Amino acid sequence: MNVLVVESPAKAKTINKYLGPGYKVLASFGHIRDLPSKDGSVKPDQDFSMVWEVDARAQSKIKDIASAVKGADKLILATDPDREGEAISWHILEVLREKHVLGKMPVERVVFNAITKSAILDAIAHPREINSELVDAYLARRALDYLVGFTLSPVLWRKLPGARSAGRVQSVALRLVVEREAEIEAFKAQEYWGIDADLAAKAGNFTARLTHLDGKKLEKLSLGTKAEADRAVAAIEAQKFAVGSVESKPVKRNPWPPRASWASPPSAPCRWRSPYMKARISAGRPSASSPICAPTASPWRRKRSAKRARPSAENTASVMCRPRRGSMSARRRTRRKPMRPFARPASPAPRKKSPNMSAPTTPGFTN
């Protein structure tokens, strides 16, 4: 019988059905050992040797695997194909070697990316050794976590009460922030000037920038004071200019990135510099005296509000629309409810109107 070890018990149950009675599939439930939370677990002076401790919850799982391996023909490690899965297989192999239960039993490492019968059988048919590079990467990560965390976390607890811990990622990010802040504080502002000229030609007007002065190329900080800029302007005004040559070349422009619908209207005037967009945005904001309904009101609600409105002095000025409230299901329930009957008053007998009076007009109503 062959023993196959995976991480998840659900995978073990499914794979056992695919492989049949010739295999016994067990689960390790993730990592089985880790560095103990005390000083001396990682020893930099001794070539970064590590002291590992088997987790108390994994003791029963290791016991089951060791007892199954004693009478087996082959051990197959089928943990996940990533770095952590490779480390779990390495830990299981090391613990079984310490217990002296392997002997000369062959050990194989298989990986698969799908829990299907064909993928599992193909993985078992193509075994390999444990990848030492992935294991070394895992060991380096755990050593950094331990050394950096155990060194900086007490300092962080003293300086920032309430902070949890500092690891390899937080420490590097903090150093980058500190170095950038130091560069900002050490920055010295320096004045510089640039000169642009609006020129007219037969083909059309254009703007030119001063790049050379007195036979020398101007750098960004060449004109450092206003007096130097004024002297350059005086020298330019005393000259006459002519278009020496025109060079045309294709220019590649990338389109604007997609924008969220809620962010497009506010940013439209800044992006397109369009008065039309500004007018649309300002028109879309209802005010107290504006007859425009709120954007959140649907045509169905506007029609319903108009039907319920009464011919009064307030309704003749504007038609107020309520915004949507509640979830979609709540609105649907509201729509299914029958409308309250609207008793229309009986039409009185027609009478002559005074020439100085006019009946109020309301959208959706007839007199």
Domains along the chain with CATH numbers: 2-130 (3.40.50.140), 138-186 (no CATH), 196-236 (no CATH)
Residue pair 52/61 in contact (Cβ under 8 Å)? The answer is no
> Looking at 2-6, 41-45, 275-279, which range is the least confident one?
275-279
pLDDT in tens, 140-149: 989 988 888 7
Range 105-126 average pLDDT: 92
Is the predicted pLDDT of residue 126 greater than 90, yes or no? yes
How confident is the prediction for the chain on average, in pLDDT? 77
Which residues in 93-155 belong to E strands, given as ranges? 107-109
SS3 for 150?
helix
pLDDT in tens, 313-328: 444 333 344 444 444 4
Is the predicted pLDDT of residue 189 greater than 50, yes or no? yes
Is the predicted pLDDT of residue 361 greater than 60, yes or no? no
Is the predicted pLDDT of residue 272 greater than 90, yes or no? no
* Angstrom distance (rounded) from CA 171 to CA 138: 19
Is the predicted pLDDT of residue 184 greater than 90, yes or no? yes
> Looking at 68-82, 110-124, 237-251, which range is the least confident one?
237-251
**Partners of residue 50 on adjacent β-strands:** 42
pLDDT in tens, 324-341: 444 444 444 445 555 555
Is the predicted pLDDT of residue 111 greater than 70, yes or no? yes
Residue pair 28/38 in contact (Cβ under 8 Å)? The answer is no
Instruction: Determine the pLDDT at residue 297.
Output: 45
Query: What distance separates the 2 farthest-apart alpha carbons in the chain?
Result: 117
pLDDT in tens, 225-246: 999 999 999 988 888 888 888 8
Range 173-199 average pLDDT: 90
Instruction: Determine the pLDDT at residue 94.
Output: 93
Burial of 214 (0-12, 13-18, 19+ CB in 10 A): exposed
